[in-house]
A and B are shown apart, each in its own frame.
Chain A
Amino acid sequence: MAKRDKLEIIRDILRIIKDNHGHIKMTPLLRKSNLSSRRFADYKSELLGRKLIKEVEAKKKGKEILITEKGMEFLDKYRAIVNFVSEFDL
Chain B
Amino acid sequence: MVTEQALFPNTFGMELIYSFVIIFCSLIIYFSTKEIYKLSNYPGIKYFREAFLFFALAYFFKSFISFLFLIFNVRGIIEFSSIFFGVLTLFFFIYASTMAIFYLLYSIVWKNLKENLRESKFTIPLIHIFVLVISATSIIVHETGVVILLQVFVFLFIAIQNYSSYRKLKSKKKSSSIHLIYLFLFVFWMLNLSDLLIVGFGPIIELVVSLASIGIFLVILYKVTRYAGINEYGKA
Contact B108 A74 (CB under 8 A): no
- Residue of A at shortest CB range from B220? A88
Chain B interface helix/strand/loop/mixed: helix
B227 CB–A CB distance under 8 Å? yes
Contact A77 B233 (CB under 8 A): no
Query: In whole Å, how far is B15's beta carbon from the nearest beta carbon of chain A?
Result: 29
How many of chain A's residues have a CB under 8 angstroms from any CB in B?
Answer: 20
How many of chain B's residues have a CB under 8 angstroms from any CB in A?
Answer: 30
Query: In whole Å, how far is A84's beta carbon from the nearest beta carbon of chain B?
Result: 4
B174 CB–A CB distance under 8 Å? yes
Q: Which of B5-13, B41-49, B57-65, B134-142 contacts A (4 or more CB under 8 A)?
A: B41-49
Alpha-carbon gap, A87 to B40, bound state (A): 16
Per-residue contact bits, chain B 198-236, to A (CB 8 Å; 1 contact, 0 not):
000000000000000000000000011001111111100
- Residue of A at shortest CB range from B174? A86
Number of A-B contacts defined by CB within 8 Å = 71
Contact B42 A90 (CB under 8 A): yes
B179 CB–A CB distance under 8 Å? yes
Query: In whole Å, how far is B34's beta carbon from the nearest beta carbon of chain A?
Result: 12
- Residue of A at shortest CB range from B229? A80
Residue among A87, A88, A90 having the largest count of chain B Cβ atoms under 10 Å: A88
Contact B41 A50 (CB under 8 A): yes
A50: chain B residues within 8 A (beta carbon): 41
B169 CB–A CB distance under 8 Å? yes
| A interface list, Cβ under 8 A from B | 7, 50, 70, 73-81, 83-90
